[in-house]
């Protein structure tokens, strides 16, 4: 179906993208989401591992007759997106997190002093950083890995003392950088927005790429009864709990799980 979108990520992080799509008015797209809870986090996995994971999940999403796929993972978007492109049949749309992240930074920063927080894999790949530098020559960029953020989210510790302590520890190096914009280059990170804000000066704006990705999706006809499907690997109890916390679901939207 042309307006059915497949979305995947490790665990619940990609639900931040789902949330933005569901918030769009009028409702028009059906979502098939795959959360790879069994293999979370992706941040320290090798490119070879990520290629095999992506091939497996993309094959599953294509079997659900999606018309486009969103790679709702900063690590895959930054490390192997070109390889993912080769897995997509002609006529199927593909979206990653790099371009919307850069778009958000360009629309937000006034000083060109930018922070990027991401997984270790994304920081080492420097794809987000290089894309921002290309679009904004002369930008002063500080990129920091926050490897425990996904685990904190997956454990359901959103808005917890553990999250506050981790944010304070990771973001301390930004204190003297005078950034005005912080790019959240992992889809898990917007779920820790409150803890991140506590660790930063109040003038720093947070950029969630999902908000800008949704702006670039092609128009679709209104669908007042979208039938969403959510699938996971691994245990689903935590996924269920976190899904209900994150998503304010349309009462007409049917959520199914295997």
Q: Tell me which residues are annotated as active site.
A: 73, 186
Report DSSP state, residue 67: S
Strand, coil or helix: 113:
strand
Listed as own residue / partner, the contacts of 222-225 with beta carbons closer than 8 Å and 24 or more positions apart are: 222/26, 222/27, 222/28, 223/3, 223/27, 223/28, 223/29, 223/30, 224/26, 224/27, 224/252, 225/252, 225/253
* Structure tokens belonging to residue 72: 């709702």
Q: CB-based burial of residue 165 (10 Å sphere; 0-12 exposed, 13-18 middle, 19+ buried)?
A: middle
Token pair of 213 as six digits: 């990705």
SS3 assignment, position 255: coil
SS3 percent helix, strand, coil of the chain, rounded to 5, is 45, 15, 40
- How far is residue 19's CA from residue 32's CA, in Å, rounded to a whole number? 13
Contact 61, 87 (CB under 8 A): no
């Amino acid at each position: 179906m042309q307006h059915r979108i497949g979305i995947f990520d490790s665990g619940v992080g990609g639900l931040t993208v789902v949330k933005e799509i569901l918030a769009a008015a009028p409702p028009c797209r059906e979502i098939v989401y795959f959360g790879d809870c069994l293999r979370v986090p992706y941040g320290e996995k090798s490119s070879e591992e990520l290629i095999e994971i992506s091939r497996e999940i993309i094959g599953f999403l294509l079997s659900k007759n999606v018309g486009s796929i969103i790679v709702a993972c900063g690590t895959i978007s930054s490390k192997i997106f070109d390889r993912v492109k080769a897995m997509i049949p002609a006529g199927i749309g593909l979206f990653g997190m790099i371009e919307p992240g850069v778009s958000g930074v360009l629309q937000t920063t006034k000083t060109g002093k930018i922070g990027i927080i991401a997984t270790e894999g994304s920081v080492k790949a420097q794809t987000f950083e290089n894309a921002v530098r290309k679009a904004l020559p002369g930008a002063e960029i500080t990129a920091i890995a926050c490897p425990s953020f996904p685990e904190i989210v997956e454990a359901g510790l959103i808005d917890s003392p553990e999250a506050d302590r981790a944010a304070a520890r990771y973001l301390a190096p930004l204190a003297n950088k005078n950034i005005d914009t912080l790019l959240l280059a992992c889809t898990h990170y917007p779920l820790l927005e409150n803890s991140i804000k506590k660790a930063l000066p109040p003038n720093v704006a947070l950029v969630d790429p999902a908000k800008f990705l949704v702006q670039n999706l092609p128009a679709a006809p209104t669908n007042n009864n979208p039938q969403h499907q959510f699938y996971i690997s691994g245990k689903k109890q935590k996924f269920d709990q976190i899904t209900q916390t994150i998503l304010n679901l349309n009462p007409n939207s049917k959520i199914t799980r295997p």
